[in-house]
Chain A
Amino acid sequence: MSLLRQQGSTVTAPPSAAPAKGLRTPAGGRRTGGLSARTRHKGMGVLLISPFLLLFLAFLVAPLGYAFWLSLRTSTLVGGDHFSWFANYQQTFTDPHFLSGVRRVAVFGVVQIPVMLGFALLGALIIDEVTSRLAKVFRMTLFMPYAVPAVIGALMWGFLYSPTFGPVNAISNSLGLGKVDLLSHTLMLTSLGNIVTWQWTGYNMIVLYAALQGLPREVYEAAKLDGAGQVQTALRIKIPMISSAMVLALMFTIIGTLQFFTEPRVLEKTASSVITPDYTPNLYAYNLAFQYSEFNYSAAISFSLGAVVFIGSYFFLFATRKRSGLK
């Protein structure tokens, strides 16, 4: 779906924040050392992180800075380019195209995210419980769509949705239900949601499964002795204990949803009367820059979207700080 979601794989790997906490203590202990040693350490530290720092500055900070500078200027097709402070941002939050896109991804997320994470959780609980060879096959199969590049996945689904070639229409026709246009205005969000769910359920399942595998087995035994069945163990022990992993999975999913781009961009070619250039905020930013050459306004839209994502995730983490163990 987006870069951020893929980065999730590296970020979410340790499913709880507990090990990070543990690390802090020895670091604190080291502070008792002499001043000269500390300065030497500091110099070494800078040296050691310098390769990272250089790349970080060159490929993250500098482009961000440039984009921010662009967003503070206004350039029109006639009349050139001038510094305009925050005029572009003012325009962004009153721009019906941007706002309708934000509303659309919000509606999309409210339905799609619970469905997908629900499936992922269910799958994770099942493969955690069942340890047969079948579970391994199941795990692989569900994870496989994640290995398909998003563009290829969207193209493939575009064919499956096709009114002429798609199996959905073949089935509904043979049942006498007539034509179902999955690429129409009314069904497009559902069709897109299906693609995203297909692609990301397995990934989230693995994240939750990894968290489940990290739980101490003695707890289950204790629960069993207390008379808890499998369903009760799952509901009262497993799910509460992996809540931090669930919060993180949810968080990355929300960020990915706000940045929804690849699937609508691909289906835009087959259904451009439905997927308008402002369909999602990211698609809108892309079209502004690369079709209309409005680089400045596009930069402002991107930053505004970034701000929405940042503030949204901050509040989300704040609200769930107890569950996620980040307090």
Chain B
Amino acid sequence: MSSTRQPRSLRRTAVAATSAALAGVLLAACGSGGGSGSGGAQSGPVHIKVWAWYPQFKQVVAEFNKTHKDVQVDWVQAGVGQDEYTKLKTTLKAGQGAPDVVMLEFQELPTIQLSKGLLDMGKYGANADKGNYVDWAWNQASDGDHVYAIPVDGGPMAMMYRADLFKKYNLKVPTTWAEYKEEAAKLHKADPQAYMTDFGSDETAGGWRQGLMWQAGSRPYTYSASKLPNIGVNLNDAGAKKVYDYWGDLVKNKLVDTQSYATTDFYNGLSTGKYATYIAAGWGPGYLSSVAKKTSGKWRVAPLPQWTAGGNAQGDWGGSSFSVTSQTQHPKEATEVARELFGTSQAAWKIGIDQAYLFPLSKPVLNGSYFGDKKYDFFGGQQINKVFVPAANGIGSFDWSPFQDFAYNTDTSEVGKALQGQSDWSAVNDNVQSQVTSYAAKQGFKVSK
């Protein structure tokens, strides 16, 4: 989940705020009223309320408001990731209080769409943007001519590694997962305090594990809102099993650490050299450079190790989009905001790339030279997007389920059991499959494999 990109302090605030989630929702409900600041009858700009979480969004909003006369954006930071979704789901249930436009990660779109929370922007001209975005992202954001979100950023995965540690321990940059394991053993033997990486076992790393399975060829869901109530659930296919067999083996041999990703211990490990690599996503550079500032210049980026030598299989972890909620009073203007907050605006994307470290899914920006040739001091001046852009272009199509939170939580619980030695790693995928299948059936889906 790209929520992990936020600095620790922000997440902490979010944690504390969750306990008061209901209170927050009540406040939001009082303050919003559909975001119609001045009302339809009056002249003057229409105010559109937007929920988004990264701090640099402030400049993006300023840029939008500067370049638009009839529509103005009111930004609210309503929590990071799951905290925001909790509030959104509550406002949707309550029937009021939702913003006009909301930032959503791709895996959350089917869930919110199924609860009838999203407006079909296709009716307001959003289909014109289809060619602007990479195919897999547009497919996740739409269903035929129905457009439920405008893609913004993605999380193509790659391997970040500490060049200095690799040199010190004479490690080779692995290109396959088999090599990765060999180097992990070599490193841990040379320094028992150091690990090749940290296996993301917690909820915030649900997307990390899914991304690795994506790369291994796993396609757990076959879902499209227009084919309800049919859904294909196949969480224990060969690709998924391959990933847990592999990582379970690394964990059992103590070649990787098992710290939760949402902890200070993990950030600390990234900055003290405890971890020699970090299997990261396209938004990872911003995240890493904020939590491990003092290691600036020591990191490099290499493509994700492959299952077969010479392969080009990629996966995605996180990434976000803008959706218009069904509660908006101004569907036309809200759609305009979702489409144009970034859209093709050079200025907005400059803020997004340079300050928020967004990985653009807009084709002209993604394939443009500004992004592609950019050198990053944190990575010793490496042009890291020479790794990330091909990775993004190698991501195939992938469906999410409309009960993704349940699936991630179940997966996290089962991985937890395996980690604690209560069950076997080889049983994780089968257990997740049977629990998610019976949940889906209970929710009224017609489940097939």
Contact = CB atoms under 8 A, between A and B. Distances in A.
Interface string B228-239: 110000000000
Contacts of A292: 403, 405-406
A50 interface: no
Given A185-B420, A273-B413, A77 B445 contact: yes
Contact of B12 (A76, A155, A164, A287): A155
Interface stretch (A8-16, A108-116, A202-210, A263-271): A263-271
A78 B409 contact: no
Interface string A144-168: 0000000110010001001111000
Interface of A is mostly: loop
A234 to B, nearest CB: 40
Nearest to B115: A293
A77 B419 contact: no
Interface in A198-243: none
Interface residues of A, number: 33
B347 interface: no
A159 B11 CA distance: 15
B224 interface: no
A185 B82 CA distance: 24
Interface residues of B, number: 46
B203 to A, nearest CB: 4
Contacts of A268: 203
B16 A155 contact: yes
B19 A276 contact: no
Nearest to B422: A185
B443 interface: yes
B201 to A, nearest CB: 5
Interface string A84-119: 000000000000000000000000000000000000
Contacts of B422: 185
B202 A262 contact: no
A56 B201 CA distance: 45
B15 A269 contact: yes
A327 to B, nearest CB: 39
Interface string B3-21: 0000000011001101101
Nearest to B14: A269
Given A79-B229, A155-B12, A276 B409 contact: yes
B96 interface: no
A277 interface: yes
A186 B442 CA distance: 33
Interface string A182-199: 001110000000000000
A165 B445 contact: no
Contacts of B260: 269-273
Contact of B15 (A78, A266, A276): A266
Contacts of B259: 163
A295 interface: yes
B264 A273 contact: no
A290 interface: yes
20 contacts: A77-B403, A78-B443, A155-B12, A164-B264, A165-B264, A184-B420, A185-B420, A262-B19, A265-B18, A268-B203, A269-B15, A269-B262, A270-B260, A270-B263, A272-B262, A273-B415, A291-B89, A291-B409, A293-B111, A295-B93
Q: Please name the 8 residue pairs, one residue from A and one from B, whose CB atoms are nearest each other, closest first.
A: A273-B416, A78-B444, A79-B444, A185-B420, A76-B444, A272-B202, A77-B443, A272-B203
